[in-house]
Structure formats: C-alpha cells, structure tokens
Structure 1
Amino acid sequence: MANTGYDKHLENGEIGPPPINERKLLTKIDIHLLPCLCFMYMITFLDRVNIGNAAVLGMRDDLGLKSGMKYNAALMIFFIPYILFEIPSNILLKKLSPHVWLTFCTFGFGLVLTFQGLVQSWSTLMATRFFLGMFEAGMLPGCVYLLGMWYKRSEGQKRYSFFASSVILAGAFGGLLASAIGKMDGMRGYRGWRWVFIVEGCATCFMAIVNFFVIPDFPEDCKWINEREFAFLRGKLAAETGRLTDTAKLGWREILGVFRDWKILVGGFMFFGQAVAVYGYAFFAPTIIHAYGYGEIKTQLYSIPPWAAAYGCSLACACLSDYFRHRYLFTLIPMLVGIAGFGILLSVRDTAHHNLQYAALHLLTSGCFSAGPIFLCWFGMNLGGHRRRMVGTAWQIGFGNVGGIVATYSFLEKDAPLYRNGYIIGLSFSCFSAAMATLYLFGVWRENKMRERIRAQGMVEVTPEDEERLGDLAITYRYAY
C-alpha cells in the first residue's frame, strides 16, 4: 500500500511534516486493538460454553441433570439477559468508554463463573448462568462496534475474522484445557468439572484487571495516536463511520428510529439462523463426540481437530473476501459446506460409522463458523455513523443470539446417539440464514442502484451534518456486497 497523507507547504516556503504512512498507522492500530479484544473474546466464549466440557466430566450426574431437560434449561437461561442487555450495553459502552465498561463486564462474568464451580443444585446453576449472560451481554456487540469505528470496510474483514475466530480457538483450547483440568478430579475435595469453572473464572478476573490498562477507546478518545494521525483517520473514515465526534444524540426516539430500515431487521435474521448451528455445536460437541464411545478425557481431545479445521477455513475465507472485496459469496459458500456436513450426519442411519460422522463434524464447523465473522463484518461495516452502527450491531448480535435459545433445545438426551433432530434443526436454520443473506444482498444492491439513478438526475447537496445524522441512509453512501 502506498504512503498517503498530505504535504503542507508553510507560508515561509518550508516543507511541512512528512505524509502519514498508512500501513504503519494500521499496524499500530492492530497492535493496540486486536490482541486484547481477541483474547478477551476468546475467554468470553470459553466461559460461556465450557459447561459442555463440564457436563462430560460429571456435572450432570452430580447435580441431577441426567434426565429431563434441566441441563437444556441451564443452557437456555443464559440467553435471556444476554439478549435483553445487548443494546443498553452498547449505549453504556459509549457513555463510559470501552476500557471501563468492557473491563467491568469481564471481571463480572469471571467472578460469576468462579461461583459456578461451587453450585450444589440445579437452581443455583440456573442463577449463575443468568448472571453470566447478563455480564457477557456487552462483550461481542461492544467489541464489534469498537472495531467498526477504527477500520474502513475494505480493511475490516481480515480483522473481523481474526477477532471472531477467537471463538474457534476457545472451542479448541477449551477441550485441551478441560482434559488437563479434568485430571484435578478430587483435589481439595472438588470434582474435575468444578475445577474447570473455578480455574477459568479466576483467570478471567485476572485478565480483566490487565485489560483495564490495555483496551483502547474510540479514536477520538485515544492518547496513543497524535493529532496528525487522528486527522488522517477522521478524513479516511468520515464516509463510513461519521466524523468521529460525540455529537450523535442518543434518545429512545433515535434508537427506535434505526429500526425503520428493514435491512436492520434482515441483518438480525441472517445472524439468527447461523447462531442456531454455531451454538448447537459449541454447546453439545463434547456430548456428540462422547456418544461415539470415547472416554471423558479422550472426548475432550477429540473435540479439538474440528475446531482447528474451522479456524483455518475461517481465516482463508476472510483473506479471500478481502482480496476480492466481496462478502456475499463468502457467506454463502461456507454455509453450503456446513449444510453438506449436516446432510452427511443425517444420512448416517446407525452408530457404526463413527469415522464418517467425525469427518462430517469438520465440514459442519468449517462452514458454519466461517460464515459468522463475514456476517458481522458485512452488516456492521455497512452501517454508517455512531448511532446506526451502535444500535445496528447490538441488534444483530442480540436478536441473532435468540438462535442460541433454539440451539439449547436442539440436542436432547432422548435423541442420543444419532441426534437426528438436532441436525435437522441446524440444517434448516442454516438454509434460513443463507436465504436472509440473499435477501440482504438484494436490498443493498437495490439501494445502491436507486441512489445512483438519483445522483445521475442532478446534483444532490449533502452537508457533513446530514451525513453524520443519516449515516448509511445518506444519498451519497454506497453499500458493499
């Protein structure tokens, strides 16, 4: 990438400061932003789904969750506060600053997870899962919103995928970590599954304290970029994120006004369908693999390779999407790969083909987990202005996580060992997600064409204040697809 910036000649004829090196500035932003957000999100997702590892290590027996749907209810209760607090959390993030709010949330769910290792009954497990969902509600929408305020759309996909792939690393690392912690069974009188929660919860609290000092805020609030760098960023991002100011009004009228745009609703629907498949696997992967006849520790280790395959596929899709500067096909193709994995699992009629089933899990994870980051980037980066991006990203993730509620009841104990109903549900919602992505593509393509016709008919004057107020609804704005 060539250097860009400005050469300013002073009145006395001297040459002004050298131009901003855009590549160097991007690297500086990446170093400050990506490692802490990725690690924080990895821990967030690990703390959310490690209940699946704990279930295989004896939690269901100890708490009386072996029969009925108490275990599924414990998974489901997490999503109620998680969904309700998404938009309010993003508003608080903007008011309090990211490093304060995200640190508070991280420390909160780390503390709750530690207490989850001490529960003695189903009712206390339900309580800890509820508060875990409440504290985790702000993490993903807050991080996605923050990322969107630092990068252009053409710069975003690799970084979004690198960030979102933390989920995949969490799944792989979770199995490895659970296999190691599971060997602590009996230490200090605690079962191995309890140590999974206690160790990971304490590690999360420690990470929260560190992150208070390293999480960056919005560009207009950061002290590690100088005035020239900020001026450069402000000019570069103005067309996509607004003018990087705090002038956007945030009353309930403005928040509800965002939902008058039907594309906002479709963005939530397409992430909703994908979330059913993702959470279905994330919560029940150890249970599914355990049904193949492996022991408790071996099950944790066998859960790692499908996550590793998904990680490689996700990064490959992100790089190709950025290279071709196209999003839609790189959501559709991975979803078709995931659908193929569901199809193979449904075609298996007995329990004797474990190798084929295990291979199909690699297709399922590679497809479904690769599409998610592109959904987030495509929709989130298409929203212009602080207000629409703040509300829109929180809505997409909040409503999308309703899919998590569906997923918690997809794999029931009575359907073991083939879990055909769970695979049918995952397949159906994957198809739904692909259909919603196609509808969104049509919507943004139609909007672009309409705006081009209006501009061709005559000059349309749009002031910077109008662009800030309207965001991506401004007639000068063009959506990416």
Structure 2
Amino acid sequence: MDPKTSPSASLGASEDVRPEGLYKAEIDTSGVNEKKLIRKLDLALLPWLSFLYLLSFLDRTSIGNAKLYKLEPDLHITDNQYLISLTVFFFSYAIFEVPSNVFLKRLRPSIWLSLLMFLWGIMMTVQGLVHNFGGLVGMRWMLGMFEAGLFPGVNYYLSCWYKRSEFGIRAAIFFSAATVSGAFGGLLAAAISNMEGIGGKPAWAWIFILEGLATVVAGAASYWIIQDFPDTAKFLTDAERAVVIRRLQADDQFSAAGENLQWKYIWKSVLDWKTWVGMVVYVGADMPLYAFSLFLPTIISQVRFQATPANLLTVPVYFFACCITCLVGYLADRYGRRGYLNLIFLTLGGAGYIILVASRNAALSYFAVYLATCGIYPVIPNTIAWVSNNVEGSYKRSVSIAMVIGFGNINGAVSSNVYRAKDKPWYRLGHGLVLMYIGFGLIATTTYHLLLRAENARRDRGERDEVIGKAETTEEQELERKNGRFDTIEEAKREKGDEWSGYRYIL
C-alpha cells in the first residue's frame, strides 16, 4: 500500500521520507560529506566537553584525596561530620538537575553551561578557605547546586547531535573523563601535597584552591568554545546544519527540527514507565560509582598504603576503567544490545564486590577493585544512552535524562555514608551495600529489556497503529479510539514521540 495514502501509521522511519517532511527542503546538501561532518562534530564537541566533565568530577571527588592530608583534624570535624559534608552535595546536585536541563533547552548551552561552571569553580576555590564544619557543608551544598547541570545537560545536548546508533560511544568518551579524573586526581593530589604550609595553608586547602581556580578559568573560556544546538551552531554551514537535523529525523528524532516548550512534554516524561525503570537501572551503577570514587584512596590506604602511595595506586585502576568504558560504548553502538551488555558488566562488578566482602588479603582486594570497575564505569554511559535511545521529543528526553541521573545522584548520599571509619580496613558494610545496589541494577535491567521487547512486539502486530486521515472502516474507527487519528504521519510523530507506532525501542 502507498505510504502516503495508508490509513495506518505503522510505517518504519525509512519508509517515511516525504518531501514535505524534509527539514529546510530548499537547501541543497549534495556537497556535504557525511563522514567528514561527523568528524567535524566530534572535534568541535567532545574534547572540550570531556575536559569540563574531568574538572567537574575532579572537583566533587577531590575531597576524598584531601582527606588523606589532615582535612579532618585541621577543621576539627569527626568522621560522621565528614560523611555529612559528602552527603549534602548529593541532595543539591539531584534537586537542581531537572530544572537545569529545562533551562539548557530554553537558553543557549554556551551561556548556561559556562555560567554553571564559572560559579562552581568559585565554590570549589572557597572550599579551600573554610575553617570549620559549617563552612565545609555550605560550600559542598553550593558546589552540588552549580555542578548539577553539567552531566545531565551534556548528555542531553550530545543526544541532540547524534543518531541513536552513534550516541553511546560519544557518551562513553565523555563519561570516561570521570575515569581520567580519578587517575589524574590521585596524581594531582600527590603533587599539590608538596605545597603544604605555603601561604599558611595546609595541603588539603591547596588541592581545593588550585583545582577551583582552574575550573573558573575553564568556565570563562567555555562561553567562546561551547557550541549551541545544531539549528543555530555557528561552526556549521547552512547545508551542514540541515544534514545534521535531517539525519536525526530519519532516525525517528522528529523533534530535532525544533519543539516549543509545553508542560505536556514534561508530564509525558514523568508519567512514562521507562523513566522510572531507567532510574533504577541507573542507580544500580551510580551509587557504586560515588562510593568507589570517594573512598577508593581511603580503602587502599587502610589496607596497606599511606596517603601518597594510595593516591598513586588509584591511577592504573582508573586507566583500566577508561578503556573498558570506551570499549562497551563502541560495542553497544555497533551491535545495539545495551541491555545484554549491562547484564554482563553488572555481573562482573558484583563478582568484584563479593571478593571485596570476603577478602582479607590486600593483593586480592586490589585485584577485586578492577573487577568492581566493570560493574560501574561502562554501565553509567551505556544506561544513559539506552534511556536516551528510547525517548523521543526534545523536552521529554531532557527531563527523562535529568530524572534518571538525578535519582542516581540522590542515592550518592547513601554511598557517602556506608564507608565508616569504624569498619576499616575491610569495610564489609560498604562493600555489601554496594553489592545490593548492583543487584538492583541487574533486576531493573532485566525488567527494562523485557518490557521494551514486549512493546516492540505489540507494535509489530499492529496493536499501536494510529489512523492517518479519515477513519472509514470499523477496524480503523477502533484504531482511532485506541491510538488516535492524525492528518499526516509527521503530525503523529510530532504529537506521540516514542509512542508513535513506527518507533522501535532499542534493546
């Protein structure tokens, strides 16, 4: 049947290439080489954004390195007060993620992301000037509030540039900056510790001050470096901008051509079961992520090594995590089996934590740390890409990504309280609770995969078909009652997003 006249909208995206649905059809794009364009996007977007996330993760986790250089006795705080200072960061961080993503969509990324970074750099610098528990807690709250927008914002922002089969490796490369920051943080803390006593400041204070000043400079420079959304990006020609958006629309991202803010798009995200199950999938790796990054130096130091050797021993762990994260991102984009990859690597991570719970040998525990990274670092960007791949509508996707990441981060508050000083050197309680969260991730990943598979099957059977045009037969009237009627397929795509019958979920 001719797709232009079909009463049903159960058509794949590849069949719906109609001239009237083409973005800026008047622009000739025949001279644009698509492969060169993708390389141009990668060079313009990924290096600087990855560097910003490196600074972000370095700033939020450097307190774990600073703790090894007499932070607690100098500020006259107890171990419980130190844990509280870690906890408050996650509350402000989680609260402001969804509003920040909405602002990012409404404003220019070059303005919003640069402003956030400049302000959290100031908070980081001031953190090195505090003298008591109250000052430290206040700065950690403010740091979390301003850092909240970067990670969910950049993941959403990148999803506005790349097809679903291209986004995973970019998300992995961006997130791998966290692993680099873990390695770099240990090296940097070891180097900065030599400034002990300069200007009357202890080593831990210099860690905060110097890293904060670097962030301030990077935030100011970002205004001129960060690009805006594809339809207005100044580094692209008109033809290149058209190609970027047409590619996205051909990939069932119809909203790439532009979408006005309406509350119904936000409510669609809030009421979508995929958002809520995705939140549990994500928390299965995100709570372990923060526990791992905040306490890895402490865990290693308590098992055998002192401050500087412990920081240095974190470097190969994070290098391994970086490699495995990028590998999983590549495999997921190439083969599209994000759910299966999550299950494999969460299982490996769980095995690592089982060893950590049972081990009483320093070398065995250090080996288990490498296994533990497999259930954390590659799963984070893979889950974000999985959720993003299965949400259409630019505002809906921005809110869904922020909700998923925000829920994961609020559970970071749990991670900051499970490695108690009285449990050292083996920290069985902390390792056991992390293992429990990995179990949550395994269960939720299985659930998400099975539900997506079932929904795809319903669409293959025609149970979700809409009526395009006038409903004439009894069957079409029943479809209209159940799934709606639209004048064109473009209207159905725009109004229904990922609920459109031709949309297929990535498993």
TM-score normalised by structure 1 residue count? 0.93
Q: Which moved more, 1:157-166 or 1:361-370?
A: 361-370
Q: Which moved more, 1:38-47 or 1:457-466?
A: 457-466
Cα deviation, 1:111-170, whole Å, max 9, x if unaligned, reads: 000000000001110000000000011011100110000001111111111011111111
Match of 1:470 among 496, 499, 507: 496
Query: Offset of 1:19 from its aligned partner?
Result: 4.1
Which aligned pairs between 1:132-171 and structure 2 lie closer than 5 A? 132-171=143-182
Structure 2 equivalent of residue 230 of structure 1:
241
Which aligned pairs between 1:67-466 and structure 2 lie closer than 5 A? 67=79, 69-238=80-249, 239-251=251-263, 253-348=264-359, 350=360, 353-454=361-462, 463-466=489-492
Structure 1 CA distance, aligned partners of 2:102 and 2:377? 28
Tell whether 2:65 aligns with 1:53. yes
Query: Contact (CA 8 Å) 2:65, 2:297: kept in 1 or not?
Result: yes
| Runs of 4+ with >3 A deviation | 16-19, 455-462
Q: Structure 2: which 5+ runs fail to align?
A: 1-16, 18-27, 469-485
Paired letter, 1:361 = V
Query: Offset of 1:260 from its aligned partner?
Result: 1.7
Paired letter, 2:349 = G
* 1:219 alignment partner, SS class: coil
Query: Contact (CA 8 Å) 1:81, 1:133: kept in 2 or not?
Result: yes
Tell whether 2:40 aligns with 1:28. yes
Query: Offset of 1:216 from its aligned partner?
Result: 1.1
Query: Offset of 1:204 from its aligned partner?
Result: 0.3
Structure 1 equivalent of residue 74 of structure 2:
62
Query: Offset of 1:200 from its aligned partner?
Result: 0.2
Q: CA 1:246–1:316 in structure 2 vs 1: closer, same or farther (change >3 Å)?
A: closer
Cα deviation, 1:395-430, whole Å, max 9, x if unaligned, reads: 111111122011011111111111000000010100
Query: Contact (CA 8 Å) 1:87, 1:395: kept in 2 or not?
Result: yes
Query: Contact (CA 8 Å) 1:275, 1:401: kept in 2 or not?
Result: yes
Q: CA 1:294–1:456 in structure 2 vs 1: closer, same or farther (change >3 Å)?
A: closer
Query: Contact (CA 8 Å) 1:175, 1:304: kept in 2 or not?
Result: yes
Cα deviation, 1:25-65, whole Å, max 9, x if unaligned, reads: 10011011101111111110110000000001110121123
Structure 2 CA distance, aligned partners of 1:250 and 1:135? 25
Cα deviation, 1:174-204, whole Å, max 9, x if unaligned, reads: 0010000011111111100000000000000
Q: Which moved more, 1:373-382 or 1:454-463?
A: 454-463
Q: CA 1:186–1:323 in structure 2 vs 1: closer, same or farther (change >3 Å)?
A: same
Structure 1 CA distance, aligned partners of 2:464 and 2:504? 14
Q: CA 1:216–1:17 in structure 2 vs 1: closer, same or farther (change >3 Å)?
A: closer
Paired letter, 1:250 = Q
Cα deviation, 1:369-396, whole Å, max 9, x if unaligned, reads: 1111100111112211112111111111
Query: Contact (CA 8 Å) 2:179, 2:321: kept in 1 or not?
Result: yes
Query: Offset of 1:250 from its aligned partner?
Result: 3.0
Query: Contact (CA 8 Å) 2:49, 2:174: kept in 1 or not?
Result: yes
Query: Contact (CA 8 Å) 1:310, 1:367: kept in 2 or not?
Result: no
**Equivalent pairs, count:** 462
Paired letter, 2:497 = G
Structure 1 CA distance, aligned partners of 2:464 and 2:76? 68
Q: CA 1:123–1:17 in structure 2 vs 1: closer, same or farther (change >3 Å)?
A: closer
Q: Structure 1: which 5+ runs fail to align?
A: 6-15
Query: Offset of 1:456 from its aligned partner?
Result: 9.6
Q: Which moved more, 1:133-142 or 1:221-230?
A: 221-230
Structure 2 CA distance, aligned partners of 1:41 and 1:429? 24
Structure 1 CA distance, aligned partners of 2:83 and 2:497? 41
Structure 1 CA distance, aligned partners of 2:262 and 2:118? 27
Paired letter, 1:147 = L
Percent of aligned pairs sharing the same letter: 35
Q: Which moved more, 1:215-224 or 1:111-120?
A: 215-224
Aligned residues: CA RMSD: 1.7
Paired letter, 2:456 = N
Paired letter, 1:244 = A
Query: Offset of 1:472 from its aligned partner?
Result: 1.0
Query: Offset of 1:457 from its aligned partner?
Result: 7.7
Paired letter, 1:218 = F
Cα deviation, 1:198-248, whole Å, max 9, x if unaligned, reads: 000000000111111011111012122222222222221114332424433
